[in-house]
Structure formats: C-alpha cells, structure tokens
Amino acid sequence: MDVSQEPINIEHIREASEILKKGGLVAFPTETVYGLGGDATDKEASKKIYQAKGRPSDNPLIVHIAKFSQLEDISSDLPETARKLADAFWPGPLTMVVNKNEVIPYETTGGLDTVAVRMPNNPVALALIEESGCMIAAPSANTSGRPSPTKASHVYEDLSGKIEAILDGGSVDIGLESTIVDLTEDVVTILRPGYINMEMLKEVVGQVRMDPGIVYNDKGTTGGAKPKAPGMRYKHYAPKGDLTIVSGEEDKVVSAINELAAQGIAAGKKVGIIATIETKGKYNCGEVLVIGDRTEEKSIAHNLYNILREFDELDVDLIYSESFATPNMGQAIMNRLLKAAGQKTIEV
C-alpha cells in the first residue's frame, strides 16, 4: 500500500518525461488517486486529456507542481493563506484554487480565470514533474463517469490504447481525491472534501466554510445551491447496481440490510452488500464485500472506489451499503458514497 517504499525506476521516469515534453499523455500515481497527465502549459495536451477521458471540456484540470515557486509563476494576487496552507499541507492532498495569469491556458482551466494547483506527496509524481520540467495538468485517470483509479490496473481498464504510458506505483495511499479549497473569496471555502478536513484547515487559516453547493439536507438536496467546482456538478459515478445507503445503529442496519437483500433475492435480483470487518459475519445472503475496518477509517476511504468497481464486475442489480460517517474522513467518504447512491439513504 505504501508507494514510497517502491523504488523509483529512473528509466521509466525519463521515458515518461519525454512523452510529456512532446505533448503526449502519461498516467501516474499520486497519494490520492492516479492522475492522467499532460503538460499544463500546452493547450493541445489538455485537449487530448479531455478526449481520452471523454470529459466535458468545461470541467477544469488540476495543475500538479513540485515547488512552491511554480504556484507563484502561474497565479496572480496570490493570497497569504496560500503560503500558510502550503507550509502546512504540501506536498499533500490539498488543491488550492487561485487567480491565474497567462501561463496556464484556458484549455487547461476549462475557460476559467482561476487555476487549481496541488503538490502531490508521491515520489513518482514528484520525480516526473521534476524530470520533465513540466507542470502537469492531471484529472483522475478514469474514463469520465467511472470511479477514480486507485491502482494501475484500473487505469489500464479505462484508458489502455488511449494514452502513451502508465507509470505503475502500486496501490495509492489515500484512495479519495484531494481536498479542494477556493482561495479567491474572503473566506477559505471547501469545494470538495478530502483527507485534509475542515478542522485541519481551520487550525491553519482560522475561518473556513463549506461550499453550500455540496451540503445536502435531509431531503437529499442542496436547496438549489450549485457546487462551485464544475466537476462536482456533473452526475457522478453511479455503479451499475442500484446503490442504497442504510444508516443508523449497527445492529438495526445489519437487520435492515439482511431483510432488503432477502427481498431482492426473492425477486430474482443479484444483491451486493458493502460490509466492514466488524459486520461481515452478520450478513446471511448476497455478495458481501468488506470495505475496511471501522476503527481504521483510512481503510474505508482506501477501498471505496475499488469495491464499487468490483460490484460492477460482479454485475449485481442492487447494492446496500452501511454508512461511514467516521470522525476525520467521514465527510469525504460520505460525499463520494452518497453521490454514487444518487443521495439515496434509508434511516433505521
């Protein structure tokens, strides 16, 4: 699981760097998910990224850098909070949205005057940025509409034949995309929750708010507010099977899921269940997959996308999942899980 323990193959990094310098595309590991990289200053490379992913071209890309001065090179009116946040969290799973200058073309920012930037904490990613001399524009390396890739084989499944190379850095560390913060308004605003949570950000910059467009009420709506990050507006990954989240006290959740699964099976459906190490023995029917250990929330974040891909392969019709409002990463985990479920939740 720990990428940093794998030796860096400098030959592979050099080959990949040559591809990037010539305007080609290379998928590479980061600590969050795999990225599909191209030279961020090359508009043709950015166009190729959208094409390979089948992604709408108004959904901007994140620019990956290896030193803070590169953020200064591509931004204008950089607020002081950027330096503070970089000192606290870079390299790491935090993306900052700042005003851009002319260095990064509109093709990379989906036509916006702002640019999203992060310094990934992964030795392969950093070596690639340094060796190529490129700032690398990279969205998650999945086909648009599929879960983000957490290992090289996921990238291969989605993009083989469409890109020049994949650097295999093993299984990623975190498994959910970076936290995105907007620094262009008065108050630092979270546009996408991730490993770096609200409390961690508050410790560094004081006031932090959540983009109202990503806060859902108990009716499963945002009350009309639209997410500021264009990518959070799109209908996101929905597994082939119809996913429902069941939340409440553990024992009640298990019996409710057992009952729903039995009903589904009786109706001739193939049913999948997302369980934890703690509960897996308590389910008595269906395809039960273990997402992780409740006492180690990182394990749940790490396996979420993988388990959703596995249920697609198993071709289940219905999926029932426990809820994972864990203390630190709960917001990020539930943001992705609720999206996959189209916000469908049953309270027991």
Q: Which residues pair with 275 in a beta bridge?
A: 290
Interaction of residue 180 with ligand TXA, rule CB under 6 A: yes
For ligand TXA, which is the closer residue by CB, 178 or 279?
A: 178
Contact partner, 292, from ligand TXA, Mg ion, none, Cβ < 5-8 Å per class: none
Span of 1-9, 54-62, 156-164, 288-296 interacting with ligand TXA by CB under 6 A: 54-62
How many helices (H) does the chain have, and how many strands (E)? 11, 15
Interaction of residue 127 with ligand TXA, rule CB under 6 A: no
Interaction of residue 229 with ligand TXA, rule CB under 6 A: yes
**Cα–Cα–Cα angle for 327, 331, 333, rounded to 5 degrees:** 100
- Range list of H helices, the chain: 10-21, 43-53, 68-74, 80-89, 123-132, 152-159, 198-205, 230-233, 250-266, 297-314, 330-340
Q: Which two tokens stand for residue 145?
A: 């509409």
**What is the C-alpha to C-alpha distance for residues 223 and 217, in angstroms, rounded to an integer?**
7
Interaction of residue 97 with ligand TXA, rule CB under 6 A: yes
Task: Say what angle helices 80-89 and 198-205 make with each other, to 10 degrees.
Answer: 130
Contact partner, 30, from ligand TXA, Mg ion, none, Cβ < 5-8 Å per class: ligand TXA
* Short-list 136, 158, 198, 150, CA closest to 335: 198
- Report, in Å, the least distance between residue 100 CB and ligand TXA: 8
Among 177, 211, 297, 322, binds ligand TXA (CB under 6 A): 177
Contact partner, 26, from ligand TXA, Mg ion, none, Cβ < 5-8 Å per class: none
Among 145, 170, 230, 330, binds ligand TXA (CB under 6 A): 230
Cross-sheet strand order for the sheet of 318-322: 287-292, 271-276, 318-322, 242-247, 345-347
Interaction of residue 193 with ligand TXA, rule CB under 6 A: no
Contact partner, 134, from ligand TXA, Mg ion, none, Cβ < 5-8 Å per class: none
Contacts of 170 (CB under 8 A, 6+ apart): 1, 3, 6, 29, 151, 152
Interaction of residue 231 with ligand TXA, rule CB under 6 A: yes
End-to-end Cα distance, the chain: 35
For ligand TXA, which is the closer residue by CB, 45 or 97?
A: 97
Interaction of residue 232 with ligand TXA, rule CB under 6 A: yes
For residue 49, the SS3 value is helix
**What is the C-alpha to C-alpha distance for residues 276 and 82, in angstroms, rounded to an integer?**
38
- Report, in Å, the least distance between residue 139 CB and Mg ion: 5
For Mg ion, which is the closer residue by CB, 192 or 260?
A: 192
Q: For binding to Mg ion (CB under 5 A), which residues are involved? A: 140
The answer to whether 318 touches 241, Cβ cutoff 8 Å, is yes
Phi, psi of 98 (to 5 degrees): -135, 170
Contact partner, 197, from ligand TXA, Mg ion, none, Cβ < 5-8 Å per class: none
Interaction of residue 178 with ligand TXA, rule CB under 6 A: yes
- Report, in Å, the least distance between residue 253 CB and ligand TXA: 30
Interaction of residue 135 with ligand TXA, rule CB under 6 A: no
Q: Which two tokens stand for residue 125?
A: 């990613």
- Report, in Å, the least distance between residue 154 CB and ligand TXA: 12
Interaction of residue 191 with ligand TXA, rule CB under 6 A: yes
Q: List interacting residues with ligand TXA (CB under 6 A).
A: 30, 32-33, 35, 59-62, 95, 97, 109, 112, 114-116, 120, 138-140, 177-178, 180, 191, 228-232
